Amino acid sequence: MRTFSMIRQLTFLTLILLMTGCSDNDSIEIENFIGNWTVSQVLYDGEVKTEWMGTHLTIEQNKIDGGLYSMTDTKYDSIWSSQGTWSRTADQFRLVLDDTLTVDFSSDGQRLNIIKRLPWTAQSTCDSGAGVCLPIVTGMWDFKFEREN
């Protein structure tokens, strides 16, 4: 009986060591778009938007199929949030940003292209007291990035 008890204890301890020694990140295959990027060109419905030039994007992976992004110097939070999440879809050329927006992307490791199709909401955000009226941004935004070294 004593031998059986020792075997159970050793089995239990082995399982604990195996479970605590492994993390979800141990089996992550890092995506080639993970890293630091700089905007090289932005097209809005085919028109070049120069104000985005030089904007930085950082993409981190903390799960097998997702992670975080940050664009702290974003020009317009309604087009690209300063921080959020990304996740993979079944389509190898699509990601979901912030659990809501599906985007097309391609990357060769040195260049990254993300196309956002922002939906029409049929309204603007206005503050009549301040005299400010910002349109809800819709249309196709094509972001081209170069990897930072």
What pLDDT, on the 0 to 100 scale, is given for residue 138?
Answer: 83
Write down the residue that tokens 């030039």 correspond to.
Answer: 53
CA distance 69 to 60: 6
What pLDDT, on the 0 to 100 scale, is given for residue 19?
Answer: 47
| Fold of the domain spanning 30-147 | Lipocalin (2.40.128)
Say if residue 132's pLDDT is above 50.
yes
Say if residue 149's pLDDT is above 50.
yes
What percent of the chain has a predicted confidence (pLDDT) above 70? Answer: 70
**In this predicted structure, which of 9-18, 30-39, 130-139 has the lowest mean pLDDT?**
9-18
What pLDDT, on the 0 to 100 scale, is given for residue 23?
Answer: 46
What percent of the chain has a predicted confidence (pLDDT) above 90? Answer: 62
Terminal Cα-to-Cα distance of the chain (whole angstroms): 63
Tell me the mean pLDDT in the region 49-67. Answer: 96
Q: Which one has a higher pLDDT value, 57 or 26?
A: 57
**Are 77 and 83 within 8 A, CB to CB?**
no
pTM: 0.73
- Residue 107 CB neighbour total at 10 angstroms: 19
Tokens of 33: 């778009």
What pLDDT, on the 0 to 100 scale, is given for residue 16?
Answer: 47
- What digits encode the pLDDT tens for the residues 102-129? 999 999 999 999 999 988 655 555 666 6
- What digits encode the pLDDT tens for the residues 64-109? 999 999 999 999 888 999 999 999 999 999 999 999 999 999 999 9
